[in-house]
Amino acid sequence: MSAPSSERWRRLAGNRNLQVGLAMLAALLLAGAFGPHLVRWDPIEIDFAAALQRPGAAHPFGTDELGRDVLARVLAATFVDLQVVAVCVVLPFFIGSLIGLASGYFGGWFDRALMRLVDVLLAFPHYVLVIAIVGSLGPGIANLYLAFALVVWISFARIVRAEVLVARRAEYAQAARLLGYGHARVMLRHILPNVITPSIIFMMSDVVLTILAVTSLGFLGLGIQPPTPEWGLMIAEGRTFLQDAWWISVFPGLAIVYVGITFTVLGEGLDDFLRPKG
């Protein structure tokens, strides 16, 4: 993190994972941004005459039971899914990191109370809780965001807190207090930059978990609602035709796999880049 820019370029040049990850991410974003405009078909328009066509020259990914072009829908879903995933990851990242920071820094009853709450929440698998919350509040994007924010912050809080427990005893943190700086300044300016890296790296793996969770919720009908194109929803809609028209479900599935691989590779690369070993 502290490398001068030339050193940073050198480290990037030697980091194959980061290069591949960034390239895959760029391709994904480009496909999401320009893809829908390059495809002739509208992702929502229904055309029964063209229903359930095999992948071919006219429709490279085929069409679904309502005659919608699968390629157009997969591309249109890219930004829908990425947006949802971004919010579902970034919101808990901020909430969790700040809570973890304060909890580890101040310690005492505040820390103990928070960590007991975390223990209780951890007793349930994350996504069971998310499903429970969305299920009881009703499907929809806002409730989805709320559910993720309420549940996933604990992972970030735990990661950051563990790092803060070490960092707050570091002499530079004590030295900052010694120089007469207030708690907020010491926490945000002196400790946070030193403890946030593992949290950022975890965020990458959390993207992979979240894309699966969001698409699973879509599959279960708890996430984004039709007719908005969404990968999980598309898989769900295609499953009745799986024996005759595999392409309806398989292509959005491949898109999910692609996103998963992208962020896994990116996370590995970022880990090497931000935490050089040896």
The one among 14, 193, 221, 226 contacting other proteins by CB under 8 A: 193
Cβ neighbours of residue 77 under 8 Å, at least 6 residues apart?
Answer: 43, 229, 230, 231, 234, 252, 255
Q: Using the rule CB under 8 A, is 171 a contact of other proteins?
A: yes
Q: Using the rule CB under 8 A, is 161 a contact of other proteins?
A: no
Nearer to other proteins, 174 or 240 (CB): 174
Helix H or strand E segment including 256:
helix 247-274
Q: What is the DSSP letter of 101?
A: H
Q: Using the rule CB under 8 A, is 174 a contact of other proteins?
A: yes
Q: Which residues pair with 63 in a beta bridge?
A: 69
Q: With beta carbons less than 8 A apart as the criterion, state whether 209 and 260 touch.
A: no
Q: Using the rule CB under 8 A, is 182 a contact of other proteins?
A: yes
The one among 87, 91, 170, 250 contacting other proteins by CB under 8 A: 170
Stretch that binds other proteins, among 30-38, 54-62, 163-171, 240-248 (CB under 8 A): 163-171
- Smallest gap, in angstroms, from Cβ of residue 199 to other proteins? 14
Q: Using the rule CB under 8 A, is 188 a contact of other proteins?
A: no
The one among 113, 128, 179, 242 contacting other proteins by CB under 8 A: 179
The one among 161, 168, 202, 203 contacting other proteins by CB under 8 A: 168
Q: Which residues pair with 69 in a beta bridge?
A: 63
Q: Using the rule CB under 8 A, is 180 a contact of other proteins?
A: yes
Nearer to other proteins, 135 or 198 (CB): 198
Nearer to other proteins, 105 or 148 (CB): 105
The one among 49, 123, 142, 178 contacting other proteins by CB under 8 A: 178
Rounded Cα–Cα distance for residues 23 and 46 (Å): 34
Burial 119-133 (b: 16+ CB within 10 A, else e): eebeeeebbebbbeb
DSSP-based three-state secondary structure for 41: coil
Q: Which two tokens stand for residue 118?
A: 């975390």
The one among 140, 177, 198, 264 contacting other proteins by CB under 8 A: 177
Nearer to other proteins, 107 or 135 (CB): 107
Residues 63-122 binding other proteins (CB under 8 A) are 107
Helices 70-106, 247-274: axis angle to 10 degrees equals 40
Q: Using the rule CB under 8 A, is 245 a contact of other proteins?
A: no
At CB < 8 A and 24+ separation, what contacts does 184-190 make? Answer: 186/105, 187/101, 187/102, 187/105, 188/101
Q: Using the rule CB under 8 A, is 49 a contact of other proteins?
A: no
Q: What are phi and psi of 86, to 5 degrees?
A: -60, -45
Give residues in contact with other proteins (CB under 8 A): 1-2, 4, 107, 168-172, 174-182, 185, 189-190, 193-194
